A and B are shown apart, each in its own frame.
Chain A
Amino acid sequence: AIQMTQSPSSLSASVGDRVSITCRASQDIRNDLGWYQQKPGKAPKLLIYAASSLQTGVPSRFSGSGSGTEFTLTISSLQPEDFATYYCLQDYNYPRTFGQGTKVEIK
């Protein structure tokens, strides 16, 4: 199975900060990667698919980049509602595998 490694595992940031989260795949997955946001007690929510396509309704401060084995989720200006855990997911092959998650906390 393809291993997805996110870094950092957690980070503390302030409102207005620019935040980046990295996801590395154990093999080339082209651009077959999505990003999900999860708040406590809630289901995950899709943010980005195909590495860089913004899901309809998601604020433009979220962006995704990368291809091959290294991918980045960037939040250009962190808002109070963005404090959550973020997961990457590869859909290159089976089994689909998620990164371990990155918790974004308030500084």
Chain B
Amino acid sequence: EVQLVESGGGLVQPGGSLRLSCAASGFTFSRYWMSWVRQAPGKGLEWVANIKPDGSQIHCVDSVKGRFTISRDNAKNSLYLQMDSLRDEDTAVFYCARDNWAGDSLYFDPWGQGTLVTVSS
């Protein structure tokens, strides 16, 4: 079964750091781009970042540039999101998702169950 399981969420003070992990199983992790998507409480979805299979390319949304770093360890079938200088507005459920390509079209499937990050003093 293809599965993604996030961990590492929790309560952190503004300005603090947190590292999220996403464990992949049931597919050849090293062949896929991977993404992080977040959802603030009661709000919509926001794509955060993605990373190429070999880690050589990264893209991210402007609001996290210079603060969040996406990385991966293909030997451990794991995706990471290092989050520094956290702000109140980063409070959200963070999902990892597999990027799939059908020709020129991308879609996210599957998704993990999500991990909650709360930034508050």
Does B111 lie within 8 Å of A98, measured CB to CB? no
Chain B interface residue number, banded: 20 to 34
How many A-B pairs with Cβ below 8 Å?
68
A-side binding surface: helix, strand, loop or mixed? loop
Pick from A32, A91, A98: contact of B45, CB under 8 Å: A98
Q: Chain B contacts of A31 at CB under 8 A? A: 105
Does A98 lie within 8 Å of B105, measured CB to CB? no
How far is the CB of A33 from the nearest CB of chain B, in Å? Answer: 8
Does A46 lie within 8 Å of B109, measured CB to CB? yes
Q: Chain A contacts of B45 at CB under 8 A? A: 36, 38, 44, 87, 89, 98, 101
Contact string, B29-61, partner A, CB cutoff 8 A, digits 1/0?
000000101000000111100100000000111
Give A residues with C-beta under 8 Å from B.
1, 30-32, 34, 36, 38, 43-46, 49-50, 53, 55, 87, 89, 91, 94-101
Give B residues with C-beta under 8 Å from A.
35, 37, 44-47, 50, 59-62, 95, 100, 102-109, 111-114
Q: List 14 A-B contacts (CB under 8 A).
A: A32-B105, A36-B45, A43-B111, A46-B108, A46-B109, A49-B100, A50-B102, A87-B45, A89-B45, A89-B108, A94-B59, A95-B59, A96-B47, A98-B47
